[in-house]
Amino acid sequence: MSRAPKVKVRTPSACATCPIRGRALFQPLSQGEVELVAHFRSEDRVVHGATDLYRQGEPCSELYTLFDGWAFLYKLLEDGRRQILKFCLPGDFLGFQPDLETPRVHSAHAVTDVALCVFPRPNLLHMFGEHPKLGISLTWITAHDQALSYEHLTNVGRRSAKERLAYLLLELFYRAREVTEPDSEGGIFFPLTQEHLADALGLTPIHVNRTLRELRGEGVVELGGRRLKVPDPGALEEELGFNAHLLRPRRMI
Amino acid sequence: MSRAPKVKVRTPSACATCPIRGRALFQPLSQGEVELVAHFRSEDRVVHGATDLYRQGEPCSELYTLFDGWAFLYKLLEDGRRQILKFCLPGDFLGFQPDLETPRVHSAHAVTDVALCVFPRPNLLHMFGEHPKLGISLTWITAHDQALSYEHLTNVGRRSAKERLAYLLLELFYRAREVTEPDSEGGIFFPLTQEHLADALGLTPIHVNRTLRELRGEGVVELGGRRLKVPDPGALEEELGFNAHLLRPRRMI
DNA sequence: CGTATCATTGACGTCGGTCAATTCGTGTGG
DNA sequence: CCACACGAATTGACCGACGTCAATGATACG
């Protein structure tokens, strides 16, 4: 039987009052611009957890704003090895790539049930044609994603397993705290498995587990029961040389 | 004594006849647009090899098009570990980042002597204000860089040393062949040391050396004397699941 | 030539991977 | 309410890819 998805819903086309608008793609827009965006948006869509949103090789017909839930982007090698490229949280914009005529270069997967705002590709190009400022927003988002991706590359390429894991958990802790309500103890909802973490960090799940045990033992993180807490984020930030700037969206100009 | 740099030169503001324009940032521009770009460009600059173009932490006052020579972007950890993020070849656009008010988030280093077109930041913003199409070009470039960066992340996170090295060499071979003249044997000029390769791949120079020996032994690559040749790129592409699409610039729209 | 940088090689150590159980937790059905 | 099933977490024993340390060669340049 098909269970009812657990996600936030809202009345369609309610961009003007969208609860995540302050954090989303089109944050710095005026009232009129928001209406323009609402006009080009085609629908809200809900996708169940543990399913793909799109797959590499498919045509690139839509783009999305993640409205609620957790997802990630990933690449698959021929033999099944998987690299997770980015974890997506509410407010993130997914599905853009340099050549929209070309098949998708990576896949996207819903971890939890997920709610999406859907932008059909032709509408999007229209939209940018009619409103250059939206193009600047998109440039900003892409550049921001790239900075994050460079950070991950550095993490995977040049840090030990323990550093990598601590770094990723800290990043996700900060990002999740920005877009969802922490629980009474300051912990966040955290739906990822150790296998997800492994595939993002270039490790095996087994080694993630061992490393996690160390971090827990040192009191650096509390993780379990779909909940994550970093008791002293400041100290960890310091210790890892974590650059929190990269997570704080600011205006480009 | 300061030796004379070995790079291509040209008369300033000759954007219209720039030999790399077909491959550079502003490729799809009209005559008038090129003149606009030429107007906002401030100068040509030559930088000696083995020096930094800019460093993380500095203010972000200029952006560049690489006109001649090889460079790379990198991040440094506190203890000196280095991750190379991207190798830059003629035609590449450097120095853009999401928040231009904020200090640089990575550094750039000239491998060889290098010639640059310099765009002062304030001019750039002006330029995009006056000509939206340039903004689209920039978005395209950023998205393209990001796709490359995701590819590198996958490479470093999920491939063996041998696969990583072969993959990177193939990529550089293709990219270099696009923008410079191959020698009579089909090899390309290749100024990187094994340490550069190591820092891009998340390996040690020693292990790069050993891995290179294997690849040479199998006839997969010829590398030495600042020259690289991949005798059968097609076969290697096949074997690695290399996606050459990502390297071929196409129009976004 | 003398010096510096890069490439190369060998011996050895370790971080993280592999394989294989066992345990835990949650949801399901009897 | 309990038995069961399934995925995820956990643990141990062992292995191998890659790192570390140290020495030697090859090249280029002043």
Query: In the predicted model, is pLDDT for residue B240 greater than 60?
Result: yes
Which positions on chain D have an atom < 7 Å from some protein CB?
Answer: 8-13, 17-22, 28, 30
Dist. CA A195–CA A199, nearest whole Å: 6
Are residues B114 and B86 in contact, defined by beta-carbon separation less than 8 angstroms?
Answer: no
Model confidence band, residue A1 (pLDDT cutoffs 50, 70, 90): very low
CA B243 to chain A, closest CA, distance in angstroms equals 9
Q: Give the pLDDT band (50/70/90) at residue A41.
A: confident
* pTM beyond cutoff 0.85: yes
B22 pLDDT band, cuts 50/70/90, is: low
Query: What pLDDT band is residue A16 in, cutting at 50, 70 and 90?
Result: confident
Say whether residue A153 is in contact with chain B using an 8 A CB cutoff. yes
Band the pLDDT of B252: cuts 50, 70, 90: low
Compute the average pLDDT of residues A177-193.
95
Counting DSSP H helices and E strands in chain A, the numbers are 7, 11
The secondary structure element, H or E, covering residue B126 is: helix B121-130
CA/C1' separation A131–D24 (Å)? 65
Nearest to B152 among A140, A153, A200 (CB): A153
- B87 strand-pairing partners: B72
**Rounded to whole angstroms, how far apart are CA atoms A175 and A107?**
22
Minimum-distance CB partner of A153 among B140, B149, B243: B149
Residue A14 clears pLDDT 90, i.e. is over it: no
Question: Within window 150-189 on A, which residues have Cβ closer than 7 Å to strand C?
Answer: 160-162
Q: pLDDT (tens digit, 9 = 90+) per residue, B99-149?
A: 888 999 999 999 999 999 998 988 787 777 777 778 888 888 999 999 999
Q: In angstroms, how far is the first alpha carbon of chain A from the final one?
A: 51
Read off the pLDDT band of B10 (50, 70, 90): low
Q: What is the DSSP letter of B104?
A: P
pLDDT confidence band for A205 (50 / 70 / 90): very high
* CA pair distance A113, A96, nearest whole angstrom: 21
3-state SS assignment for residue A166: helix
What's the pLDDT at B1?
Answer: 47
A206 touches strand C (CB under 7 A): yes
Quick one: pLDDT at residue A10? 61
Cβ atoms within 10 Å, residue A253: 13
Tens of pLDDT, residue by residue over A63-98, are 999 999 999 999 999 999 999 999 999 999 999 998
Model confidence over B62-105: pLDDT tens digits? 999 999 999 999 999 999 999 999 999 999 999 999 888 899 99
Higher-scoring residue by pLDDT: B216, B18:
B216
